[in-house]
Structures are given as structure tokens and as C-alpha cells.
Structure 1
Amino acid sequence: MATESSSHNLTRTKTALVTGASSGIGYAVVKELAHHGFTVYACARREEVLRDLAAQFPKGNVIPYALDITNITEIVQLKEYLATHLPQQCLDVLYNNAGQSCCLPAVDLTDEILTRLFRVNVIGHMDMTTQLAQLVINAKGTILFTGSLAGLTMFPFGASYAATKAAIHQYARVLHGEMKIFDVRVINAVTGGVDTEIADKGALPRTSLFHFKEGLVAFEERKRMVEKSQPMSADKYAHELVADILSSRDPLDVYRGSWATVVSWLMLLAPYWLVEWILFKKFKLDSLHAAVRRRARGNKQD
């Protein structure tokens, strides 16, 4: 009987679930997994985009599923749906990729912004993992997260986004150790520059401490960070990440996207004061600092 079961497992079509699948990295990873023979559940809020994605493949290869990961009720409903559709209750890949960016000075963040950001970038992924973990365990599969260089270093005007990514990095580290007991791999993709639409295009609030000439220049420089860093295409990123999924390695952290490896080594080897000095120069914070000092001196003279 055991032999028959093992043989059946070998012929089972592998399955994957990708959140944030309507654009960017998620969209590209869905395509790459489907090209490798996976049946992929593509999840996002914009179901019409998912249907267009599914239409690029033979029927049943990519299955669109409307999902808001900030809604625990919808996640539980997804779990119930998968329980009736997955072969042998097995999910080989759970890719927690959905995300939201935020580019604002740390002291300009509102409770509403913070709550939404952590629900999308952290709590939603934790809820997905909790609800679907048994399906991945059944498959002895892989759980992945889209981490970020922002979770490792000091990118100005990105404190909230950085905090969410640092939280995911640490969550993945602990989960890696716990899931190893069940022969499940956990991969945290520490992501550098990738050509996607995630960048925050919002304006600096007029009430901001940084709303003056040099502050606005620095803020705009920060918003153009990815486009000026020769970002990797989402398709190339997906190709490399799916290779990580298909490999037998268990690395925890993989570094994907432009500058990912360089910055990770810089953070490991350089003292923090040097890292901060480099980033001050890159994002024109030194000019901003000088302007603030000039204003302070002018106020004293008055």
C-alpha cells in the first residue's frame, strides 16, 4: 500500500499559490511556475487581471482567485476552497508576495497608514501561513516571502515599509527552524531593485518637517531610487526565484534583484556610520542637513 501511495505522489501535478499575482513579481512568478508544469492559484484583489493572466495558459493551469489578504475571513474561505480542490490536500508552494509600499518621513506616518501597511505586509502573510501550513506540510513543500533590502539598511523616508520587511525577515527565520521539523523549506527572498509598479507615488504632506526646498529634492530622489538603480526585470527575478524553489537547497535567505547581494555584504561588513554616510550622500540628505543648520543659524540671528 505504501508503495502505491509513493508512486501516486510522484505523478501528482505540483501545485502553488501566489499572492499579489495581478502585477509585478507575483504576476511573473505565476507565469514561470506554470511554465514549469505547476497548477498555480493566482491570488489578488483585481480578479479581472487574474483572468487575463489565466487565459494565457491551457485551462486549469492558472486558476484566478480573488483574495484580500488583510481579511482573515477570506483567507479561511480560501483554505476551505483548497481543501476541496487540491489533490491529496497538498500545496507544494505557498508564495506570500503581496505587498504595499510607503514613502514618507517616519514622523509623518499616521495610524491609518501604519495599520494598513502592517496588515498587508506582515499580518496577512502570517495569517496565510497559519491557515495553509498543513497543506504545505502534507506536500513537504516550500513557503516563500518577498523580503527587501529595506529590511536590512537605512533607506530614508521608508521607515514604515522597512519595519514591515524587517518583521517578515525575522518571522521567516523563526518559521524556517520550526518548519524544518516537518521537512518544509522556508525561503526569504531579500529583494533589491525590480522593475514593478509597487513604488509609492504619493506627495510629501505640506505639514511635514521636510516640506522645504532641499527636503522636497531629497524626497523626490528617494522616490526614484528603484528606477535609477538599473532594476532587474520581473521576469528575470521570477526565473531566478523559481530556480530556488525547484532546487534541493535550503538557504533561508536568497538575494534577488539589482544591488541585493552588494548591499547585503555592505551591511554585514561595514560599520553603520559608514553605511549611513553613504546613504546620506546618495539621497542628498547631506544637503538637507546643511539647509536645516543654515535656517537654524538664521533664526538665532533674528
Structure 2
Amino acid sequence: MSSSAPRQKVAVVTGASSGIGYAITRQLAKHNYQVYACARRLEPIETLVDEFSTTLIKPYKLDVSSMEDIIKFKNFLSETLREGKLDVLYNNAGQSCTFPALDVTDAMVEQCFKVNVFGHINMCRELAQFLINAKGTIVFTGSTAGVISFPFGSIYSASKAAIHQYARGLHLELKPFGVRVINAVTGGVSTNIADTRPLPQDSIYNFEEGQEAFKARQLMAKNNRPMSADVYAEKLMNDILSSRDPLDVYRGTMSSILSWVSLIVPYCVLEWGLVKKFKLEKVFAVLKKKDVKKD
């Protein structure tokens, strides 16, 4: 009597239409995973379908900020997953928010947290049983911004710090079920996530020196020799295939160095370094002069 064919491993990747998500989807397919490549825009994923076929790449339209979309996806997987098993959930969908702390609107904050925090939490909760069934792996695209709050990035940093802590709790709570949780503390990676929105007209930083500093911050990743998304994905694929259970892995340009700096350098010194790095001395000088004139 012949035995049934072995079950093909299955992965879900969010934010799969570009950058890290696209590269991770490609790596998983190379390792013969059937990948549900989830994104709001499916057209860019068609090139992966052409490369690997519809057997391995399954595009799925999903907005992680929509609870309705997530529930529909869960129901879809309930009907399609063999033995109800999901081997990898890669929470990669991301929303940038590079804006001065006093200029962010409620809508900006809400959208950033809906995608970077609530979306991942909701995906984990709703798909948890599939991962438990497979003793699978959950991965988050964390960030060095969740460790060091860079200027003009307080909201993005707050969202990444939140998901880092969620990953820590999840890592502990899923241990009894044999589910691994990996938080990829990500440094510079060449993607198109950079925020290009200009300063508001009424921003306190809307003057020549402030605009220059703001622009430099927007180009931070691009100007610091970011790792290619393909190289990053290869490294993360090794983490997924490994039997280790480290929680935090440091991938991307400067990720390990910046994380160590945050641990050992006093914050006053770190803050001084951020002022120097982003050339904020001139900005602060202008603001102090304006404050004096105002008084």
C-alpha cells in the first residue's frame, strides 16, 4: 500500500509586492514553499508567478489594516490548507511615518499603527491555530528604529518598539506549542518604503535648515549603503530554516552595531550623536533665535 505524498510546506507573506516581502516570497518559493503572497497591489507579484508558476506563488489581495480582510483570509485558509497547517507567517507589511513629532496627524498615527502593529497582532491571533498545527514559525520585520528613535521618526519608532515587545511576549507564550517567533531587527535595506511627504506649511521646522535636516532624514537609509533586499532575504531564509530559536536576529546595514550602541552608550551621548549625524545644530540655533524673538 503506497503512502500519501509528503505535505508541501506553506507560507504566508504580507507586504509581498515589493522590497523585503517580494524578496522573501522569492526565497521561500526557491525552497519549494507554497507561498500566499499577500498585498494590496497584486500586479508586481505576477513576475514571481511567471518565474515559479501558480503552484508555488499564490497572490492574495489583503490589507492587513482591515480586520474584515484578515477574517476572510483566515476562512480562505481554513478551506485550503492541507491538514490545517501553516509553516511560516511572515509579518512584513509596513507603513513609514517620517514626520516631526508635533506635525503628525491622528490619521497618520492611526494608519502607521494599524499596519505596523494592529495588523500583525490580528494576523497572529487569527492564524495561530494553523501555525500551532504545523509547529511553524512567525517572523516580524522589526527595525533598528524600534531600538533608537531617530529624529523625525518618533511615530514609526514607537510602532516598531511596540511590535518588538509584542514579539517578545509571543515568543514566550508560544513555546509550549513548538512555534518559533523571530523578530528581525532590520537595519538599512534597499526598499521603496521611504516617506517622501513634504513638511507641512505650518511646521515649526519649515525653514531652510529644517528642510535640509528633514530631507537628510528621509534619505537616511538610501545614503548609508543599505543591504540589497535579496541578500537580506537570503539571511532571513537561513534563520527560518534553522532549528535555533533566538527571538531577535539582526539583519541589514548597521543593525547589530546600532543595537549594541543603544545598550552600552548613555542616552545623553547617543542623543548628541544623533544631533551631529543629522546636522541638527543649525536647526536648533534657528529655533532658539526664533524663540528669543518671540519672547
**Superposition TM-score tier, normalisation by shorter sequence:** over 0.9
Matches within 5 A, 1:201-220: 201-220=196-215
- What is the match of residue 284 of structure 1? 279
Q: Alpha carbons of 1:299 and 1:117: their partners in 2 closer, same or farther (altered >3 Å)?
A: closer
Matches within 5 A, 1:66-85: 66-85=61-80
Matches within 5 A, 1:91-240: 91-240=86-235
Q: Shift in Å at residue 296 of structure 1?
A: 3.5
Please tell me whether the aligned partners of residues 154 and 279 of structure 1 are also in contact (alpha carbons under 8 angstroms): no
Please tell me whether the aligned partners of residues 50 and 65 of structure 1 are also in contact (alpha carbons under 8 angstroms): no
Amino acid at match of 2:132: I
- More helix per residue: 1 or 2? 1
1:258 equivalent to 2:253? Answer yes
Q: Whole-Å Cα distance in 2 between the matches of residues 299 and 16 of structure 1?
A: 58
SS at match of 1:157: coil
Q: TM-score, normalised by structure 2?
A: 0.97
SS at match of 1:107: coil
- What is the match of residue 247 of structure 1? 242
Amino acid at match of 1:46: R
Q: TM-score, normalised by structure 1?
A: 0.94
Deviations 1:56-91 (A, max 9, x none): 103311111011111111111111111111111110
Please tell me whether the aligned partners of residues 70 and 119 of structure 1 are also in contact (alpha carbons under 8 angstroms): yes
Q: Whole-Å Cα distance in 1 between the matches of residues 274 and 280 of structure 2?
A: 8
Structure 2: runs of 5+ lacking an equivalent: none
- What is the match of residue 49 of structure 1? 44
Structure 1: runs of 5+ lacking an equivalent: none
Please tell me whether the aligned partners of residues 157 and 219 of structure 1 are also in contact (alpha carbons under 8 angstroms): yes
Q: Over aligned residue pairs, what C-alpha RMSD do you find?
A: 1.4
Q: Whole-Å Cα distance in 1 between the matches of residues 27 and 168 of structure 2?
A: 26
- What is the match of residue 20 of structure 2? 25
Q: Alpha carbons of 1:130 and 1:299: their partners in 2 closer, same or farther (altered >3 Å)?
A: closer
SS at match of 2:60: strand
Q: Shift in Å at residue 293 of structure 1?
A: 2.2
Amino acid at match of 1:208: S
- What is the match of residue 270 of structure 1? 265
Q: Alpha carbons of 1:252 and 1:8: their partners in 2 closer, same or farther (altered >3 Å)?
A: farther
Please tell me whether the aligned partners of residues 152 and 267 of structure 1 are also in contact (alpha carbons under 8 angstroms): yes
Q: Whole-Å Cα distance in 2 between the matches of residues 292 and 113 of structure 1?
A: 25
Please tell me whether the aligned partners of residues 154 and 276 of structure 1 are also in contact (alpha carbons under 8 angstroms): no
Q: Whole-Å Cα distance in 1 between the matches of residues 46 and 294 of structure 2?
A: 60
- What is the match of residue 59 of structure 1? 54
Deviations 1:146-194 (A, max 9, x none): 0001111120000111111000000000000001111100000000000
Deviations 1:169-223 (A, max 9, x none): 0000000000111110000000000000000011011110111121111101101
Q: Whole-Å Cα distance in 2 between the matches of residues 44 and 298 of structure 1?
A: 50
SS at match of 2:71: helix
Q: Whole-Å Cα distance in 1 between the matches of residues 155 and 262 of structure 2?
A: 19
- What is the match of residue 38 of structure 1? 33
Amino acid at match of 1:126: I
- Tell me whether 209-218 or 51-60 shows the greater mean CA deviation: 51-60
State how many pairs are aligned: 294
SS at match of 1:220: helix
Q: Shift in Å at residue 297 of structure 1?
A: 4.0
Q: Whole-Å Cα distance in 2 between the matches of residues 143 and 60 of structure 1?
A: 22
Q: Whole-Å Cα distance in 1 between the matches of residues 198 and 205 of structure 2?
A: 12
